[in-house]
């Protein structure tokens, strides 16, 4: 048995991930359970795989930064082991099941979620999805685009983000998603695809009091992020940031107004690194939520995702400057053009899907400012070398002549 919470691909464990896939085709013994989304593909066996009795396995290599640990099986399936296992509820199974029902295909095909009871509580152990050949994540391919000055890709990202939000807008917070069946492994859920035109348009903000309450919560969260960013950012950067505090607070002001757009199930961690460019196009991945933001409401205005995505383009520009010697003015101009192109495509496709009401553009800028604060908090607490990226963005937003 694979030791839960450890990397399974060792000499002792080789072949067990592939063997798991065979088990998923039938009954799963307790205390484990499986929730199936799409049928698993047929896996081929090569001559070199015969000693294990299972298709070949490999990982993504040390060059891929992973919070969890993924194993590629037979060049067709990826098993992502959660290390350590995460107590349920977890956002990924619910979202993946809904995306299948909604007909959203611009992601790695979701096949199954494996759960198990540990210490009396059910945990998510692994997610099984399709392998996308020749895939690279956005922190690689998008930096290449920035260096070359190309922005055509941004239209595809805008389209994909809009299609994702249209699909997620039909996921109701009170929808019963079911639980794995321990005898058959089949999920207890309704079938069929909701009509995007007539399906649930997201959670309404409701009464004026509730809308005002949401605004107060969003404003308080943003101001708290700004205060933490200032407190945690030391040295010359911290001194510079302190001189821009009032300008940043002014940009957060729209969050004081009542929120009038629907709150939908958002991705929650939507940055360019979540967009794979692969042999057949682009795919959005990783529906695990944002591990750096505690207790975040999964149902928020879509502008939250949009703002994180647009700020990540700015981060790509900073990476191009620092690591690829791109001229700062060139990188800043590229980010501005890519952002405009992404937003234009997002608006067009959202409206085409009868979802134009989902986007409140007045929220994008304050959410962008908050996101940069959260990047600084993340850098201070987890990855100090990342501070250059949000600081570089903020220095382009708040030059000396614009802070009065």
* Cα–Cα distances in angstroms (integers) from residue 246 to residues 223, 225, 242, 261, 380, in the given order: 11, 14, 8, 27, 22
Q: What is the mean pLDDT of residues 233-246?
A: 97
Q: What is the mean pLDDT of residues 67-94?
A: 90
Helix (H) or strand (E) holding 311: helix 303-324
Q: At what angle do helices 328-352 and 138-148 cross, to 10 degrees?
A: 120
DSSP category for residue 263: B
Give the pLDDT confidence of 246-255 residue by residue, as tens digits. 999 999 999 9
pLDDT category at 59 given cuts 50, 70, 90 is confident
Give the pLDDT confidence of 278-324 residue by residue, as tens digits. 999 999 999 988 877 777 889 999 999 999 999 999 999 999 999 99
pLDDT at 226 over 70: yes
The pLDDT score that the predictor gives to residue 296 is 83
The pLDDT score that the predictor gives to residue 108 is 97
φ/ψ of residue 127, rounded to 5:
-120, 135
What angle (nearest 5°) sits at the alpha carbon of residue 314, between those of residues 309 and 316? 90
Beta-bridged to residue 130, according to DSSP, are 77
pLDDT at 387 over 90: yes
What mean pLDDT, rounded, does the chain reach? Answer: 85
Q: What is the mean pLDDT of residues 70-78?
A: 91
pLDDT at 194 over 50: no
More confident residue, 315 or 205: 315
Per the listing, tokens 């239209």 go with 155
pLDDT at 404 over 50: yes
Are the C-beta atoms of residues 88 and 42 closer than 8 Å to each other? Answer: no
The pLDDT score that the predictor gives to residue 64 is 52
Beta-bridged to residue 121, according to DSSP, are 118
pLDDT category at 16 given cuts 50, 70, 90 is confident
* E strands, 179-324, in order: 264-265, 275-278, 281-284, 299-300
Determine the straight-line distance between the first and last CA of the chain, rounded to whole angstroms.
63
The pLDDT score that the predictor gives to residue 46 is 52
The pLDDT score that the predictor gives to residue 202 is 52
Instruction: Give the rounded percent of residues in the chain with a pLDDT score beyond 90.
Output: 68
The pLDDT score that the predictor gives to residue 56 is 78
Q: What is the mean pLDDT of residues 131-151?
A: 97
The SS3 call for residue 272 is helix
Q: What is the mean pLDDT of residues 355-379?
A: 97
The pLDDT score that the predictor gives to residue 369 is 98
Reported pTM? 0.86
pLDDT at 199 over 60: no
**200 contact partners, CB below 8 Å, separation of at least 6:** 169, 170, 171, 172, 194
Give the pLDDT confidence of 87-133 residue by residue, as tens digits. 999 999 999 999 999 999 999 999 999 999 999 999 999 999 999 99
Beta-bridged to residue 36, according to DSSP, are 112
Per the listing, tokens 């001189």 go with 243
The pLDDT score that the predictor gives to residue 47 is 47
Paired tokens of 114: 């494996």
Instruction: Give the rounded percent of residues in the chain with a pLDDT score beyond 70.
Output: 79
| Best mean pLDDT range from 38-42, 52-56, 260-264, 318-322 | 318-322
């Amino acid at each position: 048995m694979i030791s839960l919470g450890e990397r399974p691909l060792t000499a002792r464990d080789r072949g067990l991930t592939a063997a798991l896939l065979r088990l998923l085709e039938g009954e799963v013994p307790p205390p484990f359970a499986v929730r199936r989304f799409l049928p698993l593909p047929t896996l081929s066996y090569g001559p070199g795989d015969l000693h294990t009795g299972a298709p070949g396995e490999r990982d993504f290599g040390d060059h891929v930064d992973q919070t969890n640990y993924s194993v590629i099986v037979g060049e067709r399936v990826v098993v992502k082991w959660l290390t350590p296992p995460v107590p349920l509820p977890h956002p990924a199974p619910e979202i993946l099941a809904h995306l299948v029902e909604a007909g959203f295909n611009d992601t790695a095909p979701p096949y199954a979620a494996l759960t198990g009871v540990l210490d009396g509580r059910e945990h998510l152990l692994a997610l099984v999805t399709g392998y996308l050949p020749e895939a690279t994540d956005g922190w690689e391919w998008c930096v290449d685009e920035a260096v070359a000055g190309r922005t055509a890709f941004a239209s595809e990202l805008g389209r994909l983000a809009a299609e994702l939000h249209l699909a997620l807008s039909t996921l109701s917070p009170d929808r019963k998603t079911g639980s794995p069946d321990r005898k058959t492994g089949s999920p207890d859920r309704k079938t069929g695809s909701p009509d995007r035109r007539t399906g649930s348009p997201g959670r309404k903000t409701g009464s004026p009091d509730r809308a005002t309450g949401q605004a107060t919560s969003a404003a308080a969260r943003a101001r708290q992020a700004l205060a933490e960013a200032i407190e945690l950012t030391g040295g010359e950067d911290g001194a510079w940031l302190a001189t821009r505090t009032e300008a940043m607070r002014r940009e957060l002001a729209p969050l004081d107004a009542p929120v009038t757009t629907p709150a939908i199930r958002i991705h929650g961690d939507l940055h360019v690194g979540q967009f794979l460019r692969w042999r057949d196009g682009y795919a959005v991945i990783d529906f695990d939520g944002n591990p750096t933001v505690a207790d975040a409401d999964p149902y928020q205005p879509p502008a939250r995702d949009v703002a994180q995505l647009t700020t990540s383009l700015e981060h790509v520009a900073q990476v191009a400057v620092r690591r690829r010697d791109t001229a700062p003015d060139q990188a800043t101009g590229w980010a501005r053009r890519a952002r405009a192109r992404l937003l234009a495509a997002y608006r067009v496709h959202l409206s085409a899907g009868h979802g134009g009401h989902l986007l409140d553009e007045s929220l994008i800028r304050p959410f962008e400012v908050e996101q940069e604060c959260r990047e600084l908090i993340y850098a201070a607490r987890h990855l100090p070398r990342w501070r250059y990226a949000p600081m570089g963005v903020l220095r382009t937003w708040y030059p000396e002549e614009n802070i009065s």
